[in-house]
Structure formats: C-alpha cells, structure tokens
Structure 1
Amino acid sequence: MSDPARPERIDFSAFSEALRRQAAREAQVQRAPRIPSAQTSQTRLTEVELTWIEKKLEHWIRFGRIAQDRILTRRTRVVSFRPGTIFAFVRWTANDYGTVISRIDIVRAVAPGEPYTTLPFVRPGGDILLHVESWPKVSQVLAAIDAAEAAGVDPCDVAADHWRHVHNRIAAGHQPRPYTMERHRAWLKRREIEG
C-alpha cells in the first residue's frame, strides 16, 4: 500500500521509448520518396469547404463549374475548381439576434505557381475579383449575377474585369453597369485577339 504523504515514482522510460520511436517514424516519412497524389502539381485544384447548418452557418457556391465534389459529413463538403475557373462563394452566419456575417467573393482559381490571395475556407486561395461584406451590398452582387444570367450569359463566362468593375462601383456607392450580350461578345473577341 502506498503512503499518501510520499509521491509515487513515475517510470518515464516507456514514455521516452515511445517518443523515440515516433521521432524515428517521422524521420522515415520525411526521407521517403513522395508518391504523386491523385492531384498532381499539373492538375492542382482549388478547394472550397462548404458548411450548411440551417439558419446558423451557411456557405454555398452561387455559380461555378465544379470539377470535384467530396462529402465529408452531413453538413460539410469540399468542392474543387480547375485553374482559370471563376466561381462565387457566399458565406452567411447568424445568431439568435439576426445576421452576423454576410459576404460574397468572386474568385478565379489559380494554376500552380501563380500568385494568389488567401481566403477563409479556400485552399490554397485565388485571384479575388470581388469581395463584398454586409447584406445590402451582397444583394447588389447577387442582382448583378442575376442580370448576367437574364442577358443569357453564364456568370462563369463573364469577363473577370466586369466582376472587378462591380466590386469598385459597389465600394464607391454606385450602381454597377449591367453585363450585356454585346459586352460579352466584345470580351470574347478580345480574348481571341490576346490569344
């Protein structure tokens, strides 16, 4: 029976042996040749983590051509986009008193080696064409997306410069110009010329 006034001696030898084995395993992993993953550097995709907790936390893609879709849990999934793809990522959060966060980002997925800006829930990041916060401004962006669709243009194909224009006009408190089919044809011709 142990004496309560005298602490027991703890044998750390088993613990230190486990630490030594763990360090040896980590060193082996670092020295081992890298096996190419399914997502090689040539086809690296931009991943966006989406979460949906009804009326509390809602992340969704408003538009974008999804290359891959992985379900992680009942409330979480990860969607992936190929380099050059433009997508709209909406984040909304509420508590018992109402909306806390309302944001929309229109992002161009980047290729490996291209510079990018980090963005929450987007790995590795992207070329942010538009970033708007607060519900009145987000609703203006959603209206601009709806207007492009009403003109018969898929928002994924809209010129990146138009989304920058929408961002700047909303930031200045002005109404953005609508994206028309004529503007879209001009963009397609410019893209042809630039090669």
Structure 2
Amino acid sequence: MAWDTEGTKRKILNAAATEFAASGPDGTTIERIAKLAGVNKERVYNYFGSKQGLFSHVLADQLATAAIEIPANPTANDIGEFAGRLYDYRRKHPELARLLLWEGLTFGAEVPGEQSRGDYYGRSTSALSDSQAAGQVDPALPADLLHFLVLSVAGYWAVLPQVARMITGADTDDAAEDKRRRAGVVEAARRLVLLAQ
C-alpha cells in the first residue's frame, strides 16, 4: 500500500494548527502534535524539520488559505465589504489570529516568509494608495496606516473576544450581536476612507 504523503502532511498541519493556536510554539511538543495527527513524531520531523519550521509551515498554510478567500485589493467602493469579509473570516477561523499573536511573541525582528507576506499586504496598501491618488479615498492618513487600521477594526474581535464580551455584554455565539458587530466593522472601515465633504 502506498503512503499518502500529502494526506499525512495535511493531518500534521491541522493538528499543529490546533496545538499552536492553543499553546504557542513553546507551549506544545512535537509528540503532542504527532499524537493528535495520528502519526509518529519522526514523520513530523521528516516533513517539517524543527518545531519552529512546522510553526512557520502552519502559519504560511493558514495565511495562504485566507489570501485566497480575501483577495488583497480593497478599493474605495468596497473597503467596507473588504473589512466585512476580513471580520467574517477571522470569526470563522479564530485560530489565525491566535497564531499571529504567538508569532509576534515568539520571533524576533523578522518572521519566516516576511518578504512574501509583505508583498501580499503591499498589494492592499497599493490599492488604497491608488484610490487616494484618484481622489476616491481620503488622503489624510497614509495608505499603509489606513490599511493597518482597517485590518485592526476587522480583526481585533477575534483577538480579544473576552474584551468584546465585557464591552458589548454579548458572546461571540450570539447571531444578532455578530451581525451588529459586522455592520459596525463595515461602517467604521467606510468612514476611515470617506472623503471630507
């Protein structure tokens, strides 16, 4: 019987995403990841090298999936819906926010894959800059700061759900509250780019 290498890698990546999101790279072990994936730890090392290497692969995999679902092309006309799609994605995949937080706590200056990820983010910043140059987006804030603010408005709900609960008095599983939060994200993003009248 042939070994399903890609299937095994997928099981490892899924198990590692769960473990890393919950405990971070320093708080889990290859043994726990292998056990959750149903493989021996040598397979993990063979496919991904070190634990840091596996963490980098997991984050790259998660970000690649997000990039497919949320193309990096916000424009003045759809900045609100761009932020809404970011909110929806982070709501459905809170592990991505946790992985990004762990990355910030674990790595020093430069993170693995920083150049390609920077290029992805750069496309969104360029789209906003182009909209500013065309007079469609308020130029009061530089495009890079505006881009980061939109990401923050859309994503912070997944980063600090306990603070969101304390402020709003509602849990993340409250459908009406989720709809209200999303509408707030969309409106806030639109107002960030609104030209002064």
Shorter-chain TM-score bucket reads under 0.3
State the TM-score, normalizing by the size of structure 2.
0.23
Choose between structure 1 and 2 for higher RCO, CA contacts under 8 A separated by at least 6 residues: 2
Higher relative strand content: 1
State the TM-score, normalizing by the size of structure 1.
0.23
Higher relative helix content: 2
